[in-house]
Amino acid sequence: MKFNFEKLQNLGRALMLPIALLPVAGILLRIGQPDLMNLKYIADAGNVVFHNLPLLFALGIAVGLAKDNNGTAALASCVGYLVMTSVITDINKDLDTGVLGGILIGIVTASLYNRYKDIRLPEYLSFFGGKRFVPIATGVVAVILGTILGYIWLPIQNGINILANWTFASGGIGLFIYGIVNRLLLLTGLHHVINNLVWFVFGSYPNSSGAIVHGDIARFMAGDPTAGRFMSGYFPIMMFGLPAACLAMYKNSFSENKKAVAGLLASMALTSFLTGVTEPVEFSFVFLAPALFMIHAVLTGISLAVMYLLHVHMGFTFSAGLIDYILFYKLDTHPLYLIPVGFIFFAIYFIIFDFAIRKYNLKTIGRDVTNQMLNMVRADSRPLQFIDALGGSRNLVVVDACTTRLRLTVLDSGNINKDMLSALGARGVIAPTKETLQVIIGPTADIVAGEIRQAMAANHATHLTEPKNHTTELHDLKIATDIVLDDKTQKLAATIVKYLGGIDNIKSFSVVAITRLRVEVNNSNKIDMAGFVELGDIELIDISGNIKQIYIGNNAQNIFWAFEKF
């Protein structure tokens, strides 16, 4: 059976939707405590979110996996979850599927939605066709699923408890292994899967209203003194270790690049320190120095073990940054221990990264910035340039995002331009399969994904995979004959044609991403590379084989029209 990474990737992305609700719940719960505002109804407002996490996961997973993220999937999943849990409880009141039950019914609902959202029923039942059919089908399937789980969930539940108890009993060793595995799974974005087990499933504790909550986060918020072991060890890494790595990269950047990269590295370090979002930092060195990333994974495991051995229990609702540290400081156990431990990890990271970068001449940020990369991208149109770099609109099947990365389904991941993506700010690119792609951007990933979808919907993007022959561009040709171009533009166009080996060597050309020409030549050996270097701001970018792009800037459309006149 072929492993379907795309489905697992989509699940990892969908898990982030309900997780994104936790910060507001944590804030409400915290500010309602007696030592702050002492308002029970506000604390209860936060508590109710943690109490209903299974339902929220059911809703979020269904919407996240539905093809068009339609709200019908959420309504159907709500119905399915209520029906399923009711059936399970009637069979055995001691069963609790928790968040896993919510995830399961969410997956089932999304599958039903994607399959039956356009179903056509006989005319006398047509009212119940299409999307209206999905909640009905989900309710029926939920009865069947609840019946099955009612008889098989007990051994599964016992197995989860055994695994959780082993993890708790293993102490520092278990946390050390968890830390390493968590960072290694980061490469594929599947760390969300293991995090959901420890943060939302393992362990149980009654909250202030008597309801049983599960997982490290909810138990911590409910006041469980043993909770926080799966979170505490991240604080030294995210607030101290990775910012130290950024400092080491800045220290070793070339002198002529220090000014250019200072802002970027400072932003990455500050993001990690304040919010605990670390992927932009980690993906700046994971492919350059895999051994360095392995050391980082081991240090993460060590940090988790050390904080456990020091009896430090700290929690967060989003990630291990300064904001969560301050917010939940009074709920933490020995939070001040973070300061000396953090500075120790700061020193360790800085020394290791500084040594490795110099010893092995690693091309980290500031040591690989070339003029070509800096000139490739201007602030003309970010979404169009991303579409261009991702192989064109027809190469993009699904565009989505999680916290820090674009999660894409493509026709062929080999069509992308990694250099262009790097120039657009991508810190890493992962292609687990030919059809799946992840682009690590940072906290703006969801915004970029939305911009790309809007640009594609507006049909503004030109794709790379199907070159246009300029002899068939009748509309552009008609416009070109009506345009009067200045001498400077015509001379520049003639020079570019000359350096491309003459008009007879040009097979096709078109404007892409507003600022560039995409050119396919018959023989790339005829291109005068030295000539393009002399043009200064005009950059020749190698895409593949005989396909090139020429960065021109805002004058690209006029150069295109000038080409048409040859």
Distance CA 311, CA 507 (A): 69
Cβ atoms of 114 and 73 within 8 Å: the answer is no
- Alpha helices by DSSP H, 360-417: 371-376, 382-389
Q: Quick one: 10 exposed, middle or buried, by C-beta within 10 A (0-12, 13-18, 19+)?
A: buried
402 is catalytic: yes
Q: Which of 402, 441, 455, 556 is catalytic?
A: 402
Rounded to whole angstroms, how far apart are CA atoms 327 and 35? Answer: 12
Secondary structure string (H, E, C) spanning 230-290: CCCCHHHHHHHHHHHHHHHHHHCCCHHHHHHHHHHHHHHHHHHHHHCCCHHHHCCCCCCCH
- Say how far apart CA 57 and CA 19 lie, in whole Å: 8
> Can you give the C-alpha Rg of the chain in angstroms?
27
Which residues 6+ apart lie within 8 Å of 311 measured at CB? 333, 334
Distance of CA 483 to the CA centre of its chain: 44
Using an 8 Å Cβ cutoff, are 46 and 207 in contact? Answer: no
Asked whether the beta carbons of 62 and 120 are under 8 A apart, the reply is no
Tell me the CA distances in angstroms from 440 to 230, 462, 463, 509, one per residue in order.
Answer: 25, 23, 22, 31
Taking the C-alpha atoms of residue 523 and residue 425, their distance in angstroms, rounded to an integer, is 32
Q: How many CB atoms lie within 10 A of CB 162?
A: 10
Nearest alpha-carbon partner for 194 in 180, 208, 210, 204: 180
**CB contact at 8 A, 18 and 61:** yes
The angle that helices 556-564 and 487-499 make with each other, rounded to 10 degrees, is 70
- DSSP, collapsed to helix, strand or coil, labels residue 57 as helix
Contacts 24+ apart (CB under 8 A), 147-151: 147/87, 147/91, 149/84, 149/88, 149/95, 149/97, 149/101, 150/87, 150/88, 150/90, 150/91, 150/92, 150/95, 151/91
Residues classed as catalytic: 402
